[in-house]
Amino acid sequence: MKRSLLIIVILVQLAVLSSCKKQDSEPVVENNSITGMWTESQTNLLYRNFLFAGDGNFKQYLAIKTNNVIQAITISGTYTVSGNKIGVKVTEQITKNGNDAEVKTALNTTLFDLGTFTIKNNVMVINYTTYPADAPVPTTITLRRELPLPL
């Protein structure tokens, strides 16, 4: 009887200890959770999508409508995710104004400097720093995941 009671006490203690979980100092986001197409809130004059591909490639599609002419800008590069930190290296920009020919420009810059992100209910919030002329400015962008259409 005493032995059975001892075994039960040990099992209860193991169950309690195994249910305790160490809290991480920064949230861990799986790399593939960011994968997909994300859209910023749209207006009649501005349309912006972000594609985070599963292979680490990145594209931002931007369309601006002014005076009945659409200017389309696509920037391409790669992205990395480490925990809740995101980094984007931009290597190319393609610009097209209306019916004009595309203009490709090689770039070597970053996007979402010092960026961190969270994803909840298919909404991603990226906090990062921008650098206007005066001083660094904390900036936030909110994106909604584009869900695939059912077939």
| 94 in a structural domain | yes
| 136 in a structural domain | no
Each of the 151 residues of the chain gets a pLDDT tens digit; together they read 555 544 554 544 555 545 555 555 544 444 458 999 999 977 778 899 999 999 999 999 999 988 888 899 999 999 999 999 999 999 999 999 999 999 999 999 999 999 999 999 999 999 999 998 888 999 999 999 998 766 6
| 50 in a structural domain | yes
Paired strand residues for 48: 62
* Pairing outcome for strands 46-52 and 57-66: antiparallel
| 144 in a structural domain | no
| 42 in a structural domain | yes
Name 26's Cβ contacts closer than 8 Å, sequence gap at least 6: 83, 84
Q: How many domains does the chain fold into?
A: 1
How many residues are recorded in the chain?
A: 151
Which residue, 49, 70, 53, 71, is CA-closest to 61? 49
Q: How crowded is residue 72: how many other Cβ atoms within 10 Å of its Cβ?
A: 15
| 49 in a structural domain | yes
| 60 in a structural domain | yes
Domain ranges, residue 53: 34-114
| 97 in a structural domain | yes
